[in-house]
Structure 1
Amino acid sequence: MTLKTGFTALIMAGLLAGCVSPAGKHPNAAAQTCKAENQMQQTTLYYGLTRQGGKAITAQEWQQYVDNDVTPRFRDGLTTFDAQGQWLGSNGKVSKEPSKALMLIHSVDAQSDTKIDALRDIYKSRFAQESVMRVDQPVCVQF
Structure 2
Amino acid sequence: MRWTSDTRGKAAGGVLAALLGAGIPALVGAALHGHAGEPYRETRLYFGTQRTDGRPPVAKGEFMRFLDREITPDFPEGLTLRDGYGQWRDGDGTIVREASYEVVLLYPEKEAAARGSRVERIRRAYEEQFRQDSVGRSDDELEADF
Fold-level similarity (TM above 0.5):
yes
1:140 maps to amino acid: E
**Local SS of the residue matching 2:72:** helix
1:124 alignment counterpart:
127
Distance 1:122 1:94 in 2: 24
Distance 1:64 1:115 in 2: 18
Query: For the Cα contact (< 8 Å) 2:38–2:144, is it kept in 1?
Result: yes
Distance 2:73 2:81 in 1: 15
1:139 alignment counterpart:
142
Higher Rg of the two aligned structures = 2
1:98 alignment counterpart:
99
Runs (5+) with no aligned partner, structure 2: 1-24
Query: For the Cα contact (< 8 Å) 2:86–2:100, is it kept in 1?
Result: yes
1:7 alignment counterpart:
none
Q: TM-score, normalised by structure 1?
A: 0.72
Query: For the Cα contact (< 8 Å) 2:42–2:142, is it kept in 1?
Result: yes
In the alignment, structure 1 residue 68 sits paired with structure 2 residue 69: yes
**For 1:44-101, what per-residue CA distance to the aligned partner results, in whole angstroms no more than 9, with x for missing partners?**
0000011114431111110111101100000000011111011233444432111000
Runs (5+) with no aligned partner, structure 1: 1-23
1:132 maps to amino acid: V
> Equivalent residues in 2 for 1:1-143 (5 A)?
30=32, 32-34=33-35, 38-55=38-55, 56-108=57-109, 109-143=112-146
Query: For the Cα contact (< 8 Å) 2:40–2:108, is it kept in 1?
Result: yes
2:45 maps to amino acid: L
Distance 2:98 2:54 in 1: 10
Percent identical residues: 28
Distance 2:48 2:127 in 1: 10
Q: CA RMSD in A?
A: 2.0
Q: TM-score, normalised by structure 2?
A: 0.71
Distance 1:50 1:92 in 2: 16
